[in-house]
């Protein structure tokens, strides 16, 4: 299916309208597929082409907005390698910002479908750069202190699913960690096959303040921030430090330099009602003209 552009001097140019958004440096391309113009096979190709940095618009993922009969909309997320992910925390915050601006909803509270479940969102105002807060999926499959042999030595890691799988490793001197090399090794480790895992390196700065760097599955590189990883790091930290308060707020410093907040309810080993809050921004709107996308 081809989309006609009326905004260029050449009226016959075929183009794909898109939006560029970012949340804490985690950047995304968003396309509106509410008319179901594109099928999954086409979306996979679009993601591979449009997310390529220097050759495409560039992004950590492709967000696709589709109709929902039960919620405000459905969000799908495709990685730069074309694989479809179940959930993306910062992507969800960007999608909520877009919906607040483009769907003309009167309510600041939204709910939308993802492959990992329904996400609730609160958008603070109808502006292009605002605080967006989302309720994360209930975490599952929590496992602490798992021995894993990596690069000839055994280390202890922690595992949790916050919509997608995450392995959390506590370190000192986070800035000196080779996230790309070590992260890639753990991401593909046989312990986490077949789905693989995202890998989060966490340095505890205080009981309620951590610093994090993440190697993202599907991006296959370190990103400036990862919403589900931020939630994973905050939850595992609260478990590791033996915090048993009913309500907690954990501040998380990301690679981008921005600080996000994770709110959670914790009682012993049970964690629920997890919210992620931080700034999201609509950077620009554009039209993609590359033939590889026009011909999908």
Counting as low any pLDDT under 70, the low residues of the chain are 1-13, 106, 245, 290, 292-296
Which residue has tokens 């696709």?
64
Residue 295's pLDDT is what?
65
- Residues 274 and 239: beta-carbon distance below 8 Å: no
Is residue 51 flagged as an active site residue? no
List the domains of the chain with CATH numbers: 16-135+282-294 (3.10.310.10), 140-278 (3.10.310.10)
Residues 227-277 have pLDDT tens digits of 999 999 999 999 888 777 678 999 999 999 999 999 999 887 788 899 999
Question: How many angstroms separate the first and last alpha carbons of the chain?
Answer: 7
Residue 2's pLDDT is what?
46
How far apart CA 207 and CA 67 sit, in angstroms, is 42
| Token couple for 247 | 């309500």
Which residue in 51, 88, 94, 239 is the catalytic one? Answer: 88
Which residue has tokens 């925390």?
89
Residue 9's pLDDT is what?
34
How far apart CA 193 and CA 172 sit, in angstroms, is 27
The pTM (predicted TM-score) of the whole model is: 0.90
Residue 180's pLDDT is what?
96
- Nearest partner of 21 among 9, 30, 33, judged by Cα: 30
Which residue in 51, 94, 226, 239 is the catalytic one? Answer: 226
Name the DSSP class of 139.
Answer: P
Is residue 88 flagged as an active site residue? yes
| Token couple for 215 | 């190697």
Residues 156-192 have pLDDT tens digits of 999 999 999 999 999 999 999 999 999 999 999 999 9
- Residues 166 and 183: beta-carbon distance below 8 Å: no
């Amino acid at each position: 299916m081809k989309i006609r552009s009326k905004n260029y001097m050449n009226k016959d140019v075929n183009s794909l309208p898109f939006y560029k958004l970012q949340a804490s440096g985690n950047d995304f391309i968003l396309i509106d597929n509410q008319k179901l113009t594109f099928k999954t096979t086409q979306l996979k190709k679009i993601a591979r082409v449009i997310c390529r940095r220097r050759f495409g618009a560039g992004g950590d993922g492709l967000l696709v907005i589709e109709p929902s009969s039960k919620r405000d909309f459905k969000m799908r997320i495709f990685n730069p390698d074309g694989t479809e992910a179940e959930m993306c925390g910062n992507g969800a915050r960007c999608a909520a910002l877009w919906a607040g601006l483009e769907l003309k909803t009167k309510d600041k509270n939204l709910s939308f479908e993802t492959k990992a479940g329904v996400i609730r969102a609160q958008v603070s105002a109808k502006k292009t750069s605002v605080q967006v807060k989302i309720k994360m999926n209930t975490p599952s499959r929590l496992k602490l202190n798992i021995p894993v042999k990596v690069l000839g030595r055994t280390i202890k890691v922690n595992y949790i699913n916050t919509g997608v799988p995450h392995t959390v490793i506590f370190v000192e001197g986070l800035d000196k960690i080779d996230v790309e090399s070590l992260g890639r090794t753990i991401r593909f480790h046989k312990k986490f096959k077949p789905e693989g895992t995202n890998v989060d390196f966490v340095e505890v700065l205080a009981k309620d303040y951590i610093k994090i760097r993440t190697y993202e599955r599907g991006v296959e590189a370190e990103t400036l921030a990862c919403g589900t990883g931020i939630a994973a790091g905050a939850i595992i930290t609260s478990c590791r430090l033996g915090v048993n308060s009913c309500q907690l707020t954990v501040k998380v410093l990301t690679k981008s330099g921005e600080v996000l907040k994770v709110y959670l309810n914790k009682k012993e080993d049970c964690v629920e009602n997890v919210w992620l809050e931080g700034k999201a921004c609509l950077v620009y709107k554009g039209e993609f003209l590359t033939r590889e996308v026009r011909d999908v």
